[in-house]
Amino acid sequence: MKRWIFVLPMLAIALFVLIPKLRRESAIESSDESWQVVKVADGDTITVVQGNRKEKLRFCGIDAPEKFQPLGKESKANLRRLIDEAHGEVQVSIIESDRYGRKVAEIFTSVGGKDKFLNEEQAKAGLAYHYAKYSGNCPSRNAIVSAEEIAKSNHVGVWAGNYEKPWDYRKARR
């Protein structure tokens, strides 16, 4: 009985702290509304706004060259072009949060009734690698894998030469 006197208040405090946070995150994650892109950081990270909400999004399942790597600027420019075609408007499916506080998401655009899955488009252009280590939770993982195979077979982008993978580049600079 004495143990419950200690456990119940602790449980109540934990729930009091966690429930508001979970509600905020689920409100964002369940959104299938349009977001406006306000910044393209690189080939796999954007910042979006919707009303008074602002989110930094990391593309699920891909890893683009860093901005100082070969093809880093091209990857960012290609993503910017894809977003500009849709007048900066994207649909977001948030999957999870990463250790840096960014939301990890699948990002889509629609131009003239044609939908594009931007994670897949970056991989297909050879301007991002399939990030196998972190793609397990991505619902459209198979599309990214297939897109990378197309880029490899066409020898485009990162598959046109012997480039250092972004994860190796970052690791070497830590």
Query: 105-118, pLDDT tens digit by residue?
Result: 999 999 999 999 99
Whole-number pLDDT of residue 1: 56
Q: What's the mean pLDDT in 131-150? A: 97
**Residue 93, CB-side half-sphere exposure with 13 Å CA sphere:** 13
Mean pLDDT of the chain: 88
Domains of the chain: 33-172 (2.40.50.90)
Half-sphere exposure (CA, 13 Å, Cβ side) for 118? 37
Element (H, E) at 8: helix 2-29
- Give the helix ranges, DSSP H, for 63-130: 72-85, 118-124
Beta carbons within 10 angstroms of residue 138's beta carbon: 24
Please check the confidence at residue 162 and state whether its pLDDT lies above 90.
yes
* Section 12-23 average pLDDT: 44
